[in-house]
Amino acid sequence: MPRGAKMKSYDVIVIGAGHNGLTNAAFLAKAGLDVLVVEKNPHIGGAAVSRNLHKDWMYSNCSYVCSLFRPEIYRQLNLAKHGLQVITYNGGFTLTQDGDYIGSYNDPEIMRREIYRHSPVDVDAYDRFKTDISKWCRFIRPMLLRTPPDPTSFKFRDLDELRFLARKFLDLGPRDLHDFMKFFTISVADYLDQYFTSDLIKAHKAGSGIIGTGLGPMSPGSAYVMLHHYMGDVDGSVGAWGFARGGMGAVSNALAGALQEHGGEIRTNAGVEQITVKNGTVTGVVLDSGEEISAKRVVSNLDAKRTFLGLMDPKDAGEKVVKAAKNFKIRGSSGKLNIALNGIPEFPALPKGSDLIQGDFHIIDSLERMERAYDDWKAGRWSKDPYVDALMPSLTDPTMAPEGKHFLSVFVQYCPPKVEGKDWTDDQVQAFGDTVINQLAKYSPNLKDLIEHVEIRTPREIESEVGLTEGNIFQGELTLDQLLFNRPFPGYAQYRGPVQGMYMCGSATHPGGGVMAAPGANAAREILMDLKLGNTVPEDEGDD
Amino acid sequence: MTKAYDIIIAGGGHNGLVCAAYLAKAGKKVLVLEKNDIVGGAAITKEVFPGKSVSLCAQFLHQFNTRIADDLKLSEFGLEFIDTDCRTSLLSNDGRHLTVSFDGQVEGDVAEDEVKAFQILITRLQEFSETLGFLADIPPIDIFDPDMQDKLSALKLGWKLRFGLGAEKMSDFLRIVGMNIYDLINEELEDDRLKALLSVDSVLGTHAGPRSPGTILTYLYRQIGGGKGRTLVPKGGMGAVSKAIAASAQAKGADILTGMHVREVLIDNCRVVGLRTSCGTVYNAPIVVSNADPKTTVFDMVGSRHFEADFVHRINTIRMRGNSCKLHLSLNSIPEFSGLGSEALAGRVVIADSADYVENSFNPAKYNEWSSSPVIEFSIPTLNDPHLAENGHVLSATIQYAPYSLKGGWTDEAKEAFKNICIDTLSRFAPSLKDSIEQSLLLTPVDLENEIGMQGGNWHHGEFTLDQMLMMRPVPLASRYALPLDGLFLCGAGAHPGGGVMGSAGRNAANAILRGDKS
């Protein structure tokens, strides 16, 4: 029983106000539960934040674009009413070392011409590629808002879910199953080899296979990571990406709005020290301040390592879970630079006045360069010739920077959690930032002159600020051994923890990372099921 | 006047011979045509230096199929083993070498706890291999159009996983099956040398490093078979295995002709009618079985025009990258490997002292460059099997990584340079080695392709990965040995279950032919 007797007791406490924690809490509150979200930072949002870190600039300083967010959740929680507006962006390009570029265009005819300019034989392949990708996105999307079955269980529900999956795969037929297995298991390089001959076109497409991942484009499994980045949509356009107006914090703010609308509470500056357990049942949490708050249920939005190794007594978690949590793979592989610019940088390779600059641009023109960047990471160094996914949301969303000025978000692959096994030093963080800026400046001569402020984030900064162990942006690597019923580990993929009343709702659970909100929603559905309350969480609505 | 045959097998590799033996045993008139002068494909003993004959390519038996050996009575046809529990020694840069046996007994300075952890790990993996092993002896289960046998096999598999292993181990299996070996060994082990050993065993013959997902699967595959993880060394080299199978086939009435290169498969009215050799001889038969890899079969022997486009596209995109070279050194004396007895040299010796060494050695292969610090697996087979050499010895090594599509190509200069890298790597542990070398022979993946015929120099006729196994090997709708052309079958490593000197593909193909299967 709680020692602070006067303290209010909640139905549910959610630890961490990341987008999944907020989603989870909002659905629970909507079902009538008394919910409290506790957040260690002074601001909410986790990795989906907009932060005013320099003058009048607004930085989406972690996640920076939106696509994976499940439209069913957007509708169900009425996020439009709470101010979330996602704007599709167009364009995007990859710059080549010999001063050329390849652009991305929405207009299929222009896109065909662009492919033709670089590799006439790849024009038809491009159409085939797009068709196939859409097919696999549509195949996998209905699985996102479902709880993975336990393949060893004989419960009706698990058997039924296994039957659902088996049916889905059998419906594919032998050839499509082969294609799916390829997409699910091979490297993005091998996958693209089936379509394209031009190394530039492959490099232009392969970035999605490595972003956030401790795999190279030539590592088996990276094709799935590409699919993971394609399966979202903006306004019903599958695979499209957009900006949340006002930065990624707008997603979190809208979710918080939905939560509060249904009577949920949020407390910031309230880090959790421990999840308390009595007689195998959760009793609440103890905050950093020593304050105890009691609750019948506790949901952790933190990753599996932080949850089980950090917040739980090993005796409560149990030997098996502690071992599984230790073995959970969560190596960070990405860094980020957030840059305030005094104007639009020039890219001499692009035609004057080109719209392509409104999209994301990349500075790696071959798979070999990308893979070598990965070799650096494997050896514990940041890439000397890094891959970047850079963009200026302020060109589309004027609320991000003062008039005429711009916010440049530079996502960098690869950046190790430790440098050759040792913690990052400040000098190394600076050197990493310089490497990236120099890389960009090779293609944009006036970039350095326009820079007003730079925030450099390595996995060290991401871990200490956002709380993601080793700075892994997906809360756990997206490899076969950590997907579906293996996420975060076997036996615990149905959002329930090892003690009664304890749950997980972060990206460390199915279907994984990205600002998708599916793990939070799925966890809420499981909790409501345990409470025998009506479901407020959307299942797959077959919106395709 | 040619004899009438029921079935002709193009290629006398060990799988082709096994297939022939089973078919002949069932009373079929079978002819095997082999382009080289001796049968065996990659499992041959050849006079590589005057008076010295050793296994040219494959050297150790890892997946010996006792069932086939019994069915074909191979011991009656002369198959003997020099060693049935060949141990592996690992050379470490710091001189702390290890010798390990199949069941995890370790000789060398390794902490007791660590040895125990190592044994637990390999027992755990061995159990998975044993659970799945039966799949190699049956055709891939057709989940889309199952017959009674498929349904029973699927049930058996489910039963073995769920009740044979139990829920806990089944979950463990489902977690690790798609993983890389590097992460698993780092979960369980501390010792770099033991990690190196498991890494090497997971990547030999593949286009993968220990950090590539899928390398646990390749390790499990290597451990299947009646040997339960044992490594066997046949007396007289690997050729003795092929010879015994050939003798068994011949005793049952199969004809085997060597020096006969199959030029093309003859087709009339959309079905196979026979084949023509490069010297123009035509052999007729209603069934032709190819022991060649799927690409060679479809593109070189039959011609892609006889198949539908989707099938051809899938065959064309089979990944079969070879990365292994074979190096033979003729020695006038036994070189001294510091800290390693001659008993160990007769067994299997591995050069790689950490998992990172193996991974770093793989890195250049991704860019079509060779490793400057290669992984080496070698042996001096003449030590235990003195009949192989009239005098002196031969050191035979498998070297990885040396990619088939080397940048700039495998010119004579390139071969010489890489050979020196290999000899230097060996000499680090045996300074006197260079003085005892009389002659040397390096076979690159390109040479292996030319000599033995497997495209890309890939031992497995197609990389062994999740999307290229079971009912997807070589490609869907052609995984049960019958290719989509009436009368044409595949019996080599490109078919299920895959490579390794095992013979299962040959046996399964024979069964499919006898059943009258069609694609």
Give the model's pLDDT for residue B69.
95
Does the CB of B363 have a partner CB in chain A at under 8 Å? yes
Give the model's pLDDT for residue A541.
53
Q: Are residues A389 and A296 in the same domain?
A: no
Query: If you measure CA to CA, which chain A residue comes closest to B177?
Result: A481
> From the CA of B71, how many Å to the nearest CA of chain A?
33
Q: CA dist B382 to A89, A373, B55, B376, B517, Å?
A: 69, 45, 10, 18, 45
Q: Which residues of chain B have pLDDT under 50?
A: 1
Q: Are residues A355 and A433 in the same domain?
A: yes
> From the CA of A74, how many Å to the nearest CA of chain B?
33
Q: Has residue A297 been placed in a domain?
A: yes
Q: Which CATH class is domain B2-41+66-81+237-319+459-515?
A: alpha beta
pLDDT band at A1, cuts 50/70/90? very low
Q: Are residues A339 and A448 in the same domain?
A: yes
pLDDT band at A261, cuts 50/70/90? very high
> From the CA of B178, how many Å to the nearest CA of chain A?
6
Domain hosting A133: range is 125-240
Q: Are residues A195 and A273 in the same domain?
A: no
Give the model's pLDDT for residue B469.
96
Helix (H) or strand (E) run with residue B20 in it: helix B14-25
Contact B171 A327 (CB under 8 A): no
Query: If you measure CA to CA, which chain A residue comes closest to B146?
Result: A170
Q: Where are the domains of chain B?
A: 2-41+66-81+237-319+459-515, 107-230, 324-403+407-443
Closest CB to A479: pick one of B162, B171, B213: B213
A182-210: pLDDT as tens digits? 999 999 999 999 999 999 999 999 999 99
Amino acid letter at A6? K
Tell me the mean pLDDT in the region A75-95.
95
DSSP codes of every residue in A192-244 = HHTT---HHHHHHHHGGGTTT-SS-TTSTTHHHHHHHHHS-EETTEET--EEE
User: How much is the mean pLDDT over chain A?
Assistant: 95
Q: Are residues A281 and A166 in the same domain?
A: no
Residues A431, A385: Cα–Cα separation, whole Å:
13
Q: Has residue A143 been placed in a domain?
A: yes
Chain B neighbours among A 384-443 (CB < 8 Å)?
Answer: none
Instruction: Reply yes or no on whether the pLDDT at A4 is more than 50.
Output: no
Query: If you measure CA to CA, which chain A residue comes closest to B310?
Result: A175
- Does residue B395 contact residue B349 with C-beta atoms inside 8 Å? no
Q: Has residue A56 been placed in a domain?
A: no
Does the CB of B475 have a partner CB in chain A at under 8 Å? yes
Closest CB to A486: pick one of B170, B174, B212: B174
Q: Are residues A452 and A515 in the same domain?
A: no
Domain boundary among A240, A255, A275: A240
Closest CB to B167: pick one of A152, A327, A329: A152
Domain count, chain A: 3
Q: Are residues A357 and A433 in the same domain?
A: yes
Reduce the DSSP state of residue B188 to 3 states and report it. Answer: helix
Q: Are residues A453 and A339 in the same domain?
A: yes
Please provide residue A457's backbone torsions phi and psi, each rounded to the nearest 5 degrees. -130, 115
**Cis peptide bond prior to B219, omega within 30° of 0:** no
Burial class (CB in 10 A: 0-12, 13-18, 19+), A54: middle
Residues B29, B17: Cα–Cα separation, whole Å:
14
Residue with tokens 């070297």: B399
Q: Has residue A538 been placed in a domain?
A: no
Chain A neighbours among B 200-229 (CB < 8 Å)?
Answer: 208, 211-214
For chain B, the distance separating the N- and C-terminal CA atoms, rounded to the nearest angstrom, is: 33
Contact A177 B472 (CB under 8 A): yes
> From the CA of A459, how many Å to the nearest CA of chain B?
20
Q: Has residue A289 been placed in a domain?
A: yes
Give the model's pLDDT for residue A473.
96
Q: CA dist A280 to A296, A497, B176, Å?
A: 12, 11, 30
Contact A481 B175 (CB under 8 A): yes
Interface A-B, measured as beta-carbon pairs within 8 A, has a size of 88
pLDDT band at A543, cuts 50/70/90? very low
Give the model's pLDDT for residue A231.
87
Q: Are residues A276 and A367 in the same domain?
A: no
Residues A93, A356: Cα–Cα separation, whole Å:
6
Give the model's pLDDT for residue B229.
82
Q: Has residue A536 been placed in a domain?
A: no
Contact A219 B319 (CB under 8 A): no
Query: If you measure CA to CA, which chain B residue comes closest to A214?
Result: B211
> From the CA of B113, how many Å to the nearest CA of chain A?
18
Give the model's pLDDT for residue B64.
86
Give the model's pLDDT for residue B228.
78
Give the model's pLDDT for residue A540.
62
Does the CB of B188 have a partner CB in chain A at under 8 Å? no
Residues A351, A355: Cα–Cα separation, whole Å:
9
Contact A490 B175 (CB under 8 A): yes
Residue with tokens 């580990």: A489
Contact B213 A220 (CB under 8 A): yes
Give the model's pLDDT for residue B342.
87
Does the CB of B187 have a partner CB in chain A at under 8 Å? yes
Please provide residue A35's backbone torsions phi and psi, each rounded to the nearest 5 degrees. -120, 140
Closest CB to B466: pick one of A185, A372, A490: A185
Closest CB to A490: pick one of B174, B359, B471: B174
Query: If you measure CA to CA, which chain A residue comes closest to B187?
Result: A327
Length, in residues, of chain B:
519
Predicted ipTM of the assembly: 0.95
Closest CB to A181: pick one of B167, B187, B467: B467
DSSP alpha helix (H) spans, A275-332: 304-305, 314-317, 319-327
Cα angle B358, B359, B362; round to 5: 90
A277-295: pLDDT as tens digits? 999 999 999 999 999 999 9
Give the model's pLDDT for residue B2.
59
Chain A neighbours among B 125-184 (CB < 8 Å)?
Answer: 143-144, 162, 167, 170-172, 174-179, 183
Instruction: Residue B475: list chain A partners with CB under 8 A.
Output: 178
Tell me the mean pLDDT in the region A377-403.
96
Q: Are residues A99 and A34 in the same domain?
A: no
Contact B310 A378 (CB under 8 A): no
Q: Are residues A422 and A520 in the same domain?
A: no
Contact A175 B183 (CB under 8 A): no
Q: Has residue A466 been placed in a domain?
A: no
A329-366: pLDDT as tens digits? 999 999 999 999 999 999 999 999 999 999 999 999 99
Q: Are residues A383 and A281 in the same domain?
A: no
Question: Among B175, B310, B361, B367, which would you mutate to test the A interface (most chain A Cβ atoms within 10 Å of its Cβ)?
Answer: B175
